[in-house]
Structure 1
């Protein structure tokens, strides 16, 4: 019997990067199709999942997230109860003419994120601002419903 680290021993698993195999496969496909990591792939679709900051301040919940390169007209914000959904789809097309040939490129970027908020919020009085690629959403907390006790006869 052989002792030591195996592929499945706990200390080997702790150091294992679960995405390494996917990166390796992508590198092999890029080599097969003659493409580099810098882009120019035959399918240029990016999905963003940027980080967000959520904080409670007085009677509001403030959500801030970075959406670089996305226009505010492409962003959708939905709320229900204590759940917030932010999504965006944007499509860009560029055209370049070089030495007798025309090169057209299209890219599609999408972003979707949902959050459970620390309290129920209301749409009335909510604001959203997009400045320099940073989306800031201010959501007023909903009035808590009064609890009613029911007496047993």
Structure 2
């Protein structure tokens, strides 16, 4: 499998018209967002991983280049919200840039939890660009699992 290339030749664009069309779209979108303060980290939605243990949900969100003071985590009923802003660096004048693919601006991610967390049930830690959340399940949610006996044969008629 070939790795994607950052640079293409004009021959590449002639042999693959869809690649040329894709490149034109990317350039148009890049030009559209250039003057806008709402450039995104991954289209404004940070990638997350969600895992469930017996007594908690564990959520990790990738936020590279974001300072922990610029991250906000909140819970509104059963909605978990991760939001914040990646701030731009201001050292652009010292070099003549040819390519810059870093993005800046606000980000937002919201997800529904299957329960409303109790006060103090959410812990947040930020380490090396990754936000780690642990959301403890309420006691009533952990005990709600029941085993149902499966009986052999057809169900009785309700006639």
Q: Return structure 1 stretches of 4+ with deviation > 3 angstroms.
A: 20-26, 41-44, 95-98
C-alpha contact (below 8 Å) 1:51/1:66 kept by paired residues: yes
Higher helix share: 2
C-alpha contact (below 8 Å) 1:91/1:109 kept by paired residues: yes
Q: TM-score normalized by structure 1?
A: 0.57
The root-mean-square deviation of aligned C-alpha atoms, in Å, is 3.4
| Inter-CA distance 137–123: structure 2 relative to 1 (3 Å threshold) | farther
Of the candidates 102, 105, 108, which is equivalent to residue 109 of structure 1? Answer: 105
> Which structure 1 segments of 5+ residues have no match?
1-16, 99-106, 146-153
| Inter-CA distance 26–114: structure 2 relative to 1 (3 Å threshold) | same
State the distance in 1 between where 2:68 and 2:88 align. Answer: 15
Corresponding residue number in structure 1 for 2:84: 88
> Which structure 2 segments of 5+ residues have no match?
1-17, 96-102, 142-159
1:61 aligns with 2:57: yes
| Inter-CA distance 144–112: structure 2 relative to 1 (3 Å threshold) | same
Higher strand share: 1
State the distance in 1 between where 2:28 and 2:88 align. Answer: 28
66-75 or 113-122, larger mean C-alpha shift: 113-122
C-alpha contact (below 8 Å) 1:89/1:109 kept by paired residues: yes
Corresponding residue number in structure 1 for 2:125: 129
